[in-house]
Amino acid sequence: MDTAEGTLPQRLRTLPSRLTNQAALTANRIVDQALAQAGVRRYHYKLLATLEEYGPGSQAALGRRTRIDRSDMVAIVNDLVERQLLERAPDPEDRRRNIITITAAGRGQLTRLDRLVAAAQDEFLAPLPAADRRTLVDLLTRLADHHGDKLI
């Protein structure tokens, strides 16, 4: 029986919810450090990836799609527009709202960020062989799909 100080009881060490949380904390730290090399945060990456995949949208629509709070979205868009990674233009159908579009520079930055995030994934999953990595992604995807918005 291990009674070393700092060792959790067995019932806690094997709880899937605790293990998932511990893994998520580590993964977030690794990804945050990787993105910091490019001077960005996860929500910058999320917004650029969303615009690249789904195309232009209003700030409100992007907020719903990315689940970034409306007040945070304004600051993120302002930051990325200032860096010339996004463009903001009035919506021709409703001049009260803006349409946000990724720029060529934004696409280039996204490509660089994809490489940083891929390296972070490799670092996080380093102890797992490729087959286990695929299984983990499959299992986590099934959990996320099952619980949907309840996870947020």
- The tens digit of pLDDT for each residue in 85-123 reads 999 999 888 888 899 999 999 999 999 999 999 999 999
**In a 3-state reduction of DSSP, which class is residue 73?**
helix
Q: Is 67 inside a domain boundary?
A: yes
Beta bridge partners of residue 42, listed in sequence order: none
Q: Which amino acid is at 85?
A: L
pTM as predicted: 0.86
Domain contains 31 = yes
- For residue 98, the enclosing domain spans 23-147
Amino acid at 111: T
Residue 109, in any domain of the structure: yes
**Per-residue pLDDT at 96:** 85
Residue 47 · residue 68 · CB < 8 Å = yes
CATH number for the domain harbouring residue 85: 1.10.10.10
d(CA 95, CA 68) in angstroms, rounded, equals 23
| Amino acid, res. 29 | R
The domain total for the chain is 1
Amino acid letter, residue 150: K
Residue 49 lies in a domain: yes
- 152 found inside a domain: no
Residues 102, 82: Cα–Cα separation, whole Å: 12
Position 151 scores a pLDDT of: 45
How many other CB atoms are there within 10 angstroms of residue 59's CB atom?
19
